[in-house]
Amino acid sequence: MYRTLFIALILSGLAHAQTFRAGAATSNITPPLGSGIVGGWSAPPATHIHDELHARCLVLDDGTTRLVFVVVDSVSVNREVFDEAKRQVQSATGIPPANMMMSATHTHSASSARGENAMVVGPPLDEYQKFLVRRISDGVRRAVNNLEPARIGWGTGKVPQHVFNRRWLLRDGQTAPNPFGGRDRAVMNPGGYRDRLLKPAGPVNPDVYFLSLESVSGRPIALLANYWLHYVGGVGAGHISADYFGAFAGRIQELLGADRQDPPFVGILANGPCADVNNNNYGATTPAPRYKPYEKIHIVANDVAQEVLRVRKTITHRDWVPLKAAASELALAMRHPSPEMVERARGIVAQPKSGNPDPLHVEIYARRTLDASKWPDNVNIVLQTFRIGDVGIAAIPFETFTETGLEIKAKSPFKDTFTIELANGGLGYLPTPEQHELGGYETWLGTNRVEREASRKIVATVMDLFGKVK
């Protein structure tokens, strides 16, 4: 008995004698002027760079395991890009891909990292994608170079004033038209239906989660936050911008007094499950105020940063915590249009353009329908979980509905759990089966690409992966 206790005490002491280290770095990924800005229904050329885009990189090391987190200022990044970046990082550092999480923020003011046509599956990498791969790889390697003894803490705050479900049900069972000639019960951004609104179609999550890294002397190294809100927007016409994600990074650095450090402090804001959430309150009884360009972005970024700072003052930074990672691939069936849908789409595309407004984007979705008819039967996705001390993190390669993120949080074996969306790829929206029944933009073929049961299969796989890192 005493011998067993003695060995246990020795092993415990050895574990805590290990040095916890952290390193962070950024890589500039700003595309050239003239690049098409994606995120809307067209891709106008960039005429101005308001603020640079970055890949923000964090490496953690508990003496046995290294974890990598990269958050990229992009609307979405194809899996092929992240896979190649991971291959280069593994070749240079030995860190396995399963220990690397790479995600997009979902800014709508960046050039495409999805190739010429985001609806085509698996094309070769274009010039910007190759540039992005190299920049991500370099950023991670620089973060490894910056590894130093560190302490880590975490916390959760609340910023409820900026999250509103953007999908609404209409009164008395009313429906709205969709671009396929059908009708939907749920309407996204229902500004034209204000007199008919019943209630939001789903929940929101007001929480902001964060990991804080500091040197043993107390100097801030990095802060990784997670907030479940779509981009904010309101940028200048033709402007490239990292949106509120980049503004948060700058503001938290300012609030922490971490300017002009060597090595530089890195603030990071990863997006959480917010496919059905944005910053517009359609249930408000008074008109929304008018904002100057970037004003609302900075309001949101400041409020999130101020709450993180408030909570950070109350937490304890620990000298050492265990790190674990688990990953697996899940095969999902891809959606395909019916023969009738394909025939209708061909007819629409063949018609001469009338020049009349197309508020339902009928032609765009006709072209997406034709692209979808060529999709493979299945697609493999990467799912990941991480343990950082008592914190659990899930990573999903879709724009994920908030209710799915809340389900993962409720079922997680960790007290503190958050989910990063658009991680390790970007395959469009991930409605729940119940949201599919309501219809709406997020469920349309071309916006959504995979089977209706996908969210349930993903949650089940994530729970299995959490069991491996607990």
The string of pLDDT tens digits covering residues 456-470 is 999 999 999 999 999
For the CA atoms of 416, 204, 383, 98, the dihedral, rounded to the nearest 10 degrees, stands at -50
Is pLDDT larger for residue 119 or for residue 384? Answer: 384
Looking at residue 11, what is its pLDDT? Answer: 47
State what percent of residues in the chain have pLDDT above 70.
96
For residue 416, what are the contacts with CB-CB under 8 A and spacing of at least 6? 154, 156, 209, 390, 391, 392
Looking at residue 255, what is its pLDDT? Answer: 98
Looking at residue 3, what is its pLDDT? Answer: 56
176 occurs within a structural domain: no
Q: What residue numbers bound the domain in which 348 lies?
A: 336-372
Q: Does one domain contain both 389 and 265?
A: yes
| Residue 362 pLDDT greater than 90, yes or no | yes
276 occurs within a structural domain: yes
Look at residues 452, 86, 404, 366 and name the one whose alpha carbon lies nearest to residue 275: 404
Q: Does one domain contain both 252 and 352?
A: no
344 occurs within a structural domain: yes
Last residue of a domain, one of 314, 345, 372: 372
Of all helices (H) and strands (E), which one includes residue 59? strand 54-61
What angle do helix axes 362-372 and 339-350 make, rounded to 10 degrees? Answer: 130
Q: Dump the DSSP string for 383-438.
A: EEEEEETTEEEEE-SSEE-HHHHHHHHHH-SSSEEEEESSBS---BEE--HHHHHH
Contact yes or no for 82/102 (Cβ under 8 A): yes
Looking at residue 237, what is its pLDDT? Answer: 94
Average pLDDT over residues 444-457: 98
Strand residue runs (E) in 145-281: 148-158, 164-165, 167-170, 176-177, 183-184, 186-188, 197-200, 207-215, 220-227, 239-240, 266-271, 277-278
For tokens 């999908």, name the residue. 167
6 occurs within a structural domain: no
205 occurs within a structural domain: yes
24 occurs within a structural domain: yes
Looking at residue 429, what is its pLDDT? Answer: 98
Looking at residue 116, what is its pLDDT? Answer: 74
7 occurs within a structural domain: no
Strand residue runs (E) in 201-314: 207-215, 220-227, 239-240, 266-271, 277-278
The string of pLDDT tens digits covering residues 81-100 is 999 999 999 999 999 999 99
Listed range (13-17, 269-273, 406-410) with the worst mean pLDDT: 13-17
Token couple for 170: 């209409």
Q: Does one domain contain both 322 and 405?
A: yes
Average pLDDT over residues 369-392: 97
| Residue 260 pLDDT greater than 80, yes or no | yes
175 occurs within a structural domain: no
CA angle 334, 435, 171 (to 5 degrees): 145
Q: Does one domain contain both 305 and 409?
A: yes
Average pLDDT of the chain? 94
| Residue 118 pLDDT greater than 90, yes or no | no
Average pLDDT over residues 349-359: 84
Looking at residue 4, what is its pLDDT? Answer: 53
Average pLDDT over residues 383-406: 98
The string of pLDDT tens digits covering residues 121-152 is 777 899 999 999 999 999 999 999 999 999 99
Look at residues 181, 81, 72, 92 and name the one whose alpha carbon lies nearest to residue 123: 81
Distances (CA, A) of 196 to 179, 192, 436: 21, 9, 21
Query: Model's pTM, two decimal places?
Result: 0.95
Q: Does one domain contain both 404 and 272?
A: yes
Q: Does one domain contain both 262 and 297?
A: yes
Looking at residue 287, what is its pLDDT? Answer: 87
How many distinct structural domains can be found in the chain? 2
Predicted confidence band of residue 6 (pLDDT cuts 50, 70, 90): very low
Q: Does one domain contain both 408 and 431?
A: yes
Q: Does one domain contain both 213 and 346?
A: no
Q: Does one domain contain both 27 and 137?
A: yes
Average pLDDT over residues 342-353: 93
The string of pLDDT tens digits covering residues 397-442 is 999 999 999 999 999 999 999 999 999 999 999 999 999 999 999 9
Strand residue runs (E) in 279-401: 323-333, 378-388, 391-395, 399-400
Q: Does one domain contain both 276 and 342?
A: no
| Residue 9 pLDDT greater than 90, yes or no | no
DSSP 113: B
The string of pLDDT tens digits covering residues 281-304 is 999 988 889 999 999 999 999 999
Q: Does one domain contain both 93 and 211?
A: yes
Distance CA 364, CA 118 (A): 13
Q: Does one domain contain both 344 and 223?
A: no
